[in-house]
Structures are given as structure tokens and as C-alpha cells.
Chains A and B, each alone.
Chain A
Amino acid sequence: MVNSTKLPVYMPGLDAKLSAEVEERIAEFERDHEQDVIHGGDGYVERIRGKDYAIALIINGVLGIYWLWSILS
């Protein structure tokens, strides 16, 4: 794929006003957030943490054991 640093906004059907607004927001994201995202930091909003995955895994683990118990007992 090509080096995209200077790619303009191009979406068929996007009107000039909206296109300019999208361009402004992309430039703002590149200026304020892109390097943070690349280095594991926040994007527009606070990044998800490892503990969020851990909570989901633990709860699902408990439910999985409950399901296995119900079919094996």
C-alpha cells in the first residue's frame, strides 16, 4: 500500500462541506492522538485496560464452569 501521509479525503458522495469537516477532524486526530495510539496510548478516549479483559474472562470462566457442571452432573 502507498505512503498515505498526504492522502486527501475521498469518499464517493461526500459533499464538500462534510468532506472539509472530515479533513479537519483527521488532521486534529493526527496532531493530538495518532502518535499516542501507535505507542499504546489513548485515542479520542481513554484506552481499554488489561483488567477489563480480565474481568470479562473471569466472569465467563465462572459461567463456563456452571454450564459444564449442568451438563456433566
Chain B
Amino acid sequence: MATKEYVRKDVYFTVLPCRKGERIYRFWDLLAIQICFGIGAWFFLIGSQTGMWLSAKQAIPAIIFGNCFGLLLMGAVAIISARYGVEQLLGSVPIFGPKFTIVNVIFFAVTWLCALALAALMFGQSAIKLWGTIFNDNSVLASAFPGATIWAVLALIVGFIFASRGPDTLKWFTRIAAVFMIVVLIGLILYLLIHVGLDNIFKAKPAAPIVIEGDADLSNRWNIASSFEVNIGLGLSWAYFYGQYTRLAKSESGGFHGCMWGWGALAAVAGVFAAFAALAIGQYDPTSWLVVMSTNVGFPLIALIGLILMAVANISSISTIIYPAAITLVSNYPKLKWGLALAIATVPALILCTPGFYGRIASIYAIIGLINGIYGAIIVTDYFFISKGVYKLRDIFNTKEGYQYFHGVNPAAAISMAFGLVFYLIILNPITWTSLTGWFPYITAGVPTVILTGVLYYILMKAWIVKKYPAPIQAEKQE
């Protein structure tokens, strides 16, 4: 019994394929986890950015549809790990080849470190305001710098502790946190609509729209396309995060729907709230709205509840980011001990915890959406049109001889990824937010990139790779 329990615990912290009896996440558990993961800095800041660009009428569907559609495009990524019980990047080995894993780890690291830094910084912003509201002082702990950074580091430490306890602890923690956050968010939206007025919110002009001098129509296109781009970028940005949780799902369907709706429509409530707040006060940082609103009405409890929400939201997000990052590291580099993997997953985020990083949400999520989108496009295309989700588990666990393709790399996946990167960048430069070709805002960048990357991968696989390097199960059938 003791040995069984030991192995059961090992499954949560090592590379072992997870059997049915060891799985702990039903649909509702995954929904709660992904709500906690999803409701964090990214949704508040992207929702707020959308409210700075668009009116409420256009912002609400841009946030909800943008995120849900991005997740629809990536949805099948959830299934592979649920089917074979393996971690996400290990489950990608049959598609990319074992030697390409390092590229995916680097892309994933960029994703999780940016997300960690944003969540920690938003916790910092909430904490300094909360501190100032409660204690009414201007000490270091209420200062933008170094106060917010000190709180951000504290958030990373707390998140680290929760994540280190593993998926069982996260399940119970997120069940409580998800309900709390959804209830408070709906309450705050209702409060905002009643206090500011539904009409005023819907009549409010966005505070900082993109303006192309002398061309109102083009300006309008830029605002619509940019809003869609950052929201779809957020929807696509989960591609590297599925399998670390869905390998513990009790059914493929639970994994698929739990991720799609937890990260999508339900977490998007936070984005809608932030857009409303931005429209109400014309400020980008949603934590400011809470303080401004409570000052205006002389009711500090609103600020207190809202800022506690921000704190819970970002700490739960930090925990739910660190666990998948660490399990990916120990699964692909089994020599790493759990504690060291947790440290590698967390500590580098400190470098990004600077005030300037907090204000660059559109660029950050365009880049993250890009690298996740092209990765996901290849996985989904392979799943539906090439392998049909049939892989050889034994070959995944032999990095020397299994799924070798060309020197351990699938050229079709590598070429398609490179193409996707270049194609996106010629449509939209996410740093300068300009278009080299002028195609943006007439088309967006993320969706065409995902589709064309998938199409190129399909053509290369059918015309070249499948013939030259038949997959192991295919080869067995032919013999």
C-alpha cells in the first residue's frame, strides 16, 4: 500500500505515464483550475487594453469570442496527453522529434516566465494600493518602486509553495478560489453597471484608441483588428499548458471542455470587467479603478474586496503556472529534482518584474500568441489529419531511436514553425505594432498564421515526411 501510494505520488512529480486510476481531475476540477489559471493579470490587462481601444458594445464580443476562438483552434492539444497520460512536450515528441524538444522548452519558458512576471507585478500593484488603503501611509510597501516589486517577489514565493505541493493541493485550492473569484467579479460588474450606469458604460468613448491621422475608417479598422489580435493571442497562448493538467484528466472530454471553457468564456468575465473599468475611468491599470471608485463613493470596502480579488487571482495563477512549468522540466530532463525544477521555473521571472514590463501587454501577448499558435497549429493538424492521434507510447520514451525523422527532428514541423514565425512578422511587428506589408488591419496576424502553418505542415507531411519516415505504427502495419 505504501509503495502504491509512493508511485501514485511519483506520477504527479515525474515523467511516469499516468494510469486511469491515478487521475484526479474531473471536468469540474479542470474547469476550476483553468478559471484560476485564466483569471490573472493577462485577462485584466488585455480586457483593459481592449476597453482603451473599443466601445463596450465592441469590446465584449472581441474579448469573449477572441479568446474562445483561439482556444477552439488549439483545443485538440488537450487530447494527446489525456489519451497517453504523458506531459505536454513529451506528448509532442512524435510530431516534432525528440531533438526539437529544446526549442519547444525555450518557447514554453518565454511563455511561462512572461506570464509569471505579469501576474506577480499585478499582485504588486494590488498590494501597494491595498496597503495604502488600509494603513493610509506612503511607506516603501505602498510605493510603485520598490514596493510593487517587493510584493511581486512575495507573490512568487507563495505561488511557489502552493505549486510545490502538486496537483492534489492545487485541486482543493482552486475549487475555493474559482468560486470566490467568479462571484466577486460578477458582483463588481453589477456594482459598476449600477453605480456608473449601463448607459454610461455603453456610451463611454475608449480613452486611448489608435488614431491614424485624417483617416477615421482606417483608425477604426486598427482598433478592431488590434483588439481581436491581442484577445486571440491570449486564446492561443495556452497551447503549451494543456497536457501538464490533462494527463491527469479522467476523460478526454473533461480535459477538452475543462480547458476550453475555464480559460475561455468563464475566465473572460475578468476581461469584460476590466474593459468596463477602463471605459468608466479611462485608465489602463484595472487596480486603479478600484481605488478611484471607492474614493469617489467613499466606500473603501469595494476597493478592499476588489484588491483581494486581484491578489487571489494572481497568486492562484502563479501557482497554476509554476506546476506545469516544473513538470515539463522534470519530464523532459528527468535528472532534475523537483525542487530544482520549481526553482528554474520561478526564479528567472524576477528579471522581468520591472514596472515597464507591466505596460506592454499587447506586445507580450502578441508574441506569446505567435509562438504558442504555431506550435499548436502543428499539433492540431497532426492530430486531425496526419496521425489521427495514434502514437507509439514506447517510442516516445526512447529519445535515441524513437520518432527520429531527420537526426531527431521532424523537418516538416521545423520548417512550418519557421514559416509561421516569418509570416506573422511580415503582417504585424508585435514590438512596434506596425505592419511591414500593410496587410494588417485588413487581415489579422494570428489566425492566418495558425491556418497557413497547419496547411504547410500538412502538405510537407503528406508529400514528403510520411513517405520517407513512416511512423512506427504505420511501419508495423506495412510489415
Interface residues of A (CB under 8 A from B): 1-5, 7-15, 18, 21-22, 25-26, 28-30, 34, 37-38, 43-49, 52-53, 55-57, 59-60, 63-64, 66-67, 69-71
Contacts and interface: CB of A to CB of B under 8 A. Distances in A.
Contacts of B260: 56
A43 to B, nearest CB: 4
A12 B368 CA distance: 30
A45 B20 CA distance: 6
B249 to A, nearest CB: 7
Interface string B363-390: 0000000000000000000000000011
14 contacts: A1-B395, A4-B475, A7-B394, A9-B398, A14-B335, A25-B17, A34-B392, A43-B82, A44-B18, A56-B256, A57-B72, A63-B64, A66-B64, A70-B58
Interface of B: 7, 10, 14-20, 23, 57-58, 60-62, 64-66, 68-69, 72, 75, 79, 82-85, 224, 228, 249-253, 256-257, 260, 265, 333-336, 389-390, 392-395, 397-405, 469-473, 475-476, 479
Contacts of A56: 72, 75, 256-257, 260
Contact of A44 (B19, B256, B402): B19
Contacts of B476: 3-5
Given A1-B405, A7-B394, A37-B83, A66 B61 contact: yes
B20 A26 contact: no
B334 A45 contact: no
B72 A11 contact: no
Contacts of A11: 15, 334, 397-399
B256 A10 contact: no
Given A4-B402, A5-B394, 9 more contacts: A2-B404, A4-B395, A4-B472, A10-B400, A26-B397, A43-B84, A44-B83, A48-B251, A60-B72
Contacts of A1: 395, 402-405, 469-472, 475
Contacts of B392: 4, 34
B72 A34 contact: no
Nearest to B58: A70
Contacts of B23: 44-45
A5 B466 CA distance: 19
Contact of A26 (B389, B394, B400): B394
A60 B58 contact: no
Query: Which 6 pairs show the lowest CB-CB distances between chains A and B?
Result: A13-B335, A43-B83, A67-B61, A48-B252, A67-B65, A63-B65
| Interface SS majority for chain A | helix
Contacts of A22: 15-17, 397
Contacts of B334: 11-15, 18
Given A1-B470, A25-B16, A52-B256, A60 B398 contact: no
Contacts of B335: 12-14
A71 B20 CA distance: 46
Contacts of B399: 10-12
B20 A7 contact: no
Contacts of B61: 63, 66-67, 69-70
Nearest to B389: A37
Contacts of A29: 17, 84, 393
B462 to A, nearest CB: 17
Contacts of A57: 72
B395 A48 contact: no
A47 B398 contact: no
A3 B472 contact: yes
Q: Which of A18, A37, A59, A64 has most chain B Cβ within 10 Å?
A: A37
B140 to A, nearest CB: 44
Contacts of A47: 83, 252
B68 A63 contact: yes
Contacts of B393: 26, 29-30, 34
Nearest to B223: A71
